[in-house]
């Protein structure tokens, strides 16, 4: 086994910088006062520092500017062993998540006094965690939905029978007929709602085949175009695909995009544009190669406090609606081992719904 030997200062320096660049993540090296001594290229890319002279500058000043930290938000990192999670908005209105942690410099041979900050992009794991939390909520809601639907069926059936008997016994009086007709209509409406709820609770699993990406998306826009014309809304396609395919259930994938397109259209309060774009995200250490599809609307947007619940069943921000459309969207995405998230639109206007689907099944259905 060969060993490393350093006879000259430049060899030690080259090894030091090679070690910095080999670290899987960003690294900022600072003295005790927080003045930067070195940073690897990964940290520069994460913080947008490419081409900037950073040596000798305060790491706190750089972090505040790059991550848009206000006041003393970086206070946890000023203590040994400190950690913090930062959400950083991007130019296209999305969000990325960075985990920062502080470690003190230690050496048994040299007197060193300083620390280094590790930066990890945890956007993909953060999305997975959000999906897992929603899955747990969905499971509880689905179980409750099945239970309540079954419990309500019997009394509703009896009520419909009694109203039908009452209708017969009251004869042909028009006033009584009108009242009993409304009662029967209300009972049937409740039954219809229960049917929808049960459909949500027993959602189908995908039957996979190869789906051509571009024709799939073009078919969705063709179905939405007449509805857009009625509202003065134009759909703008921005595909980066020609003949590529993805593994998935054609009917469910069509329903997924149709629901998102309808949601974007309903959010538009005046004439405008909705963009549908697609691109491929290469595989990384945290995940497989993904198809990313975005709906970008110019609608009323979604309040920050509602974004965490927007995919929950029966939750809606609309005056009229059942709150199941986006819940079904979430189920279809999850059943294809994908991810979905919502961000504010460019310039703070409208919303951006981003769907991430792996090109092939990640495990057996």
Tens of pLDDT along 160-187? 888 888 878 887 788 888 888 888 777 8
One-letter-per-residue 3-state SS of the chain: CCCCCCCCHHHHHHHHHHHHHHCCCEEEEEECCCEEEEECHHHHHHHCCCCCCCCCCEHHHHHHHHCCCCCCCCHHHHCCCCEEEEEEECCCCCEEEEEEEEEECCCCCCCCCEEEEEEEECHHHHHHHHHHHHHHHHHHHHHHHHHHHHHHHHHHHHHHHHHHHHHHHCCCCHHHHHHHHHHHHHHHHHHHHHHHHHHHHCCCCCCCEEEEHHHHHHHHHHHHHHHHHHHCEEEEEEECCCCCEEEECHHHHHHHHHHHHHHHHHHCCCCEEEEEEEEEECCECCECCEEEEEEECCCCCCCHHHHCCCCCCCCCCCCCCCCCHHHHHHHHHHHCCCEEEEEECHHHCCEEEEEEEECCCCCCC
Q: How confident is the model at residue 331 (pLDDT cuts 50, 70, 90)?
A: confident
The predicted-structure confidence for 188-237, as pLDDT tens digits, reads as follows: 767 756 665 665 666 667 888 999 999 999 999 998 888 888 889 999 99
- In the chain, the percentage of residues whose pLDDT exceeds 70 is 70
**In the structure, what pLDDT confidence band is assigned to residue 94 with cuts at 50, 70 and 90?**
low
Instruction: Please state which of the ranges 53-62, 228-237, 246-255, 260-269 shows the lowest mean pLDDT.
Output: 53-62
What confidence tier does 107 reach under pLDDT thresholds 50, 70, 90?
low
More confident residue, 76 or 352: 352
Predicted confidence (pLDDT) per residue in 27-39, tens digit: 888 888 888 887 8
Residue 4's pLDDT band (boundaries 50, 70, 90)?
A: very low
The model's pTM: 0.53
> Is the pLDDT confidence value at 315 over 60?
yes
316 vs 252 pLDDT, higher one: 252
Highest-confidence segment of 252-261, 276-285, 328-337 = 252-261
Give the model's confidence band at 132: pLDDT under 50 very low, under 70 low, under 90 confident, else very high: low
pLDDT for 221: 92
- Domains annotated on the chain, with CATH: 9-121 (3.30.450.20), 128-201 (1.10.287), 209-358 (3.30.565.10)
| pLDDT higher at 150 or 238 | 238
User: Does residue 3 register a pLDDT over 50?
Assistant: no
The residues near 14 (Cβ < 8 Å, ≥ 6 apart) are none
């Amino acid at each position: 086994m060969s060993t490393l030997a350093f006879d000259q200062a430049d060899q030690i320096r080259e090894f030091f910088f090679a070690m910095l660049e080999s670290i899987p993540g960003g690294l900022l090296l600072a003295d005790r006062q927080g003045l930067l001594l070195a940073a690897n290229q990964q940290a520069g890319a994460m913080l947008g520092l490419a081409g900037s002279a950073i040596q000798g500058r305060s790491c706190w000043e750089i972090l505040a500017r790059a991550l848009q930290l206000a006041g003393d938000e970086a206070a946890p990192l000023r203590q040994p062993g400190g950690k913090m999670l930062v959400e950083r908005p991007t130019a296209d209105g999305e969000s990325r998540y960075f985990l920062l942690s502080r470690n003190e410099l230690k050496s048994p041979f040299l007197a060193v006094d300083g620390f280094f900050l590790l930066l990890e992009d945890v956007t993909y794991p953060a999305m997975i965690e959000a999906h897992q939390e929603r899955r747990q909520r969905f499971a509880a809601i689905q179980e409750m939905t099945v239970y309540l639907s079954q419990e309500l069926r019997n009394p509703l059936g009896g009520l419909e029978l009694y109203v039908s008997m009452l209708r017969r016994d009251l004869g042909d009086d028009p006033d009584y007929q009108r009242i009993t007709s409304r009662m029967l209509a209300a009972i049937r409406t409740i039954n219809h709602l229960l049917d929808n709820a049960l459909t949500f609770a027993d959602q189908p699993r995908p039957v996979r085949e190869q789906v051509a990406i571009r024709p799939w998306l073009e078919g969705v826009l063709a179905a939405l175009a007449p509805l857009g014309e009625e509202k003065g809304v134009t759909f703008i396609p921005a595909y980066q695909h020609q003949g590529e395919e993805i593994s998935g259930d054609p009917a469910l994938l069509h329903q997924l995009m149709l629901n998102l397109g309808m949601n974007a259209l309903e959010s538009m309060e005046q004439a405008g544009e909705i963009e549908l774009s697609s691109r491929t995200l290469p595989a990384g250490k945290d995940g497989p190669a993904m198809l990313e599809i975005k709906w970008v609307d110019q609608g009323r947007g979604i309040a920050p406090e509602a974004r965490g619940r927007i995919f929950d069943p029966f939750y809606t921000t609309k005056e009229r609606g059942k709150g199941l459309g986006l819940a079904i969207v979430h189920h279809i995405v999850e059943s294809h081992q994908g991810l979905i998230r919502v961000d504010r639109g460019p310039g703070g206007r409208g919303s951006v719904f981003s769907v991430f689907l792996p090109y092939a099944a990640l495990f057996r259905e």
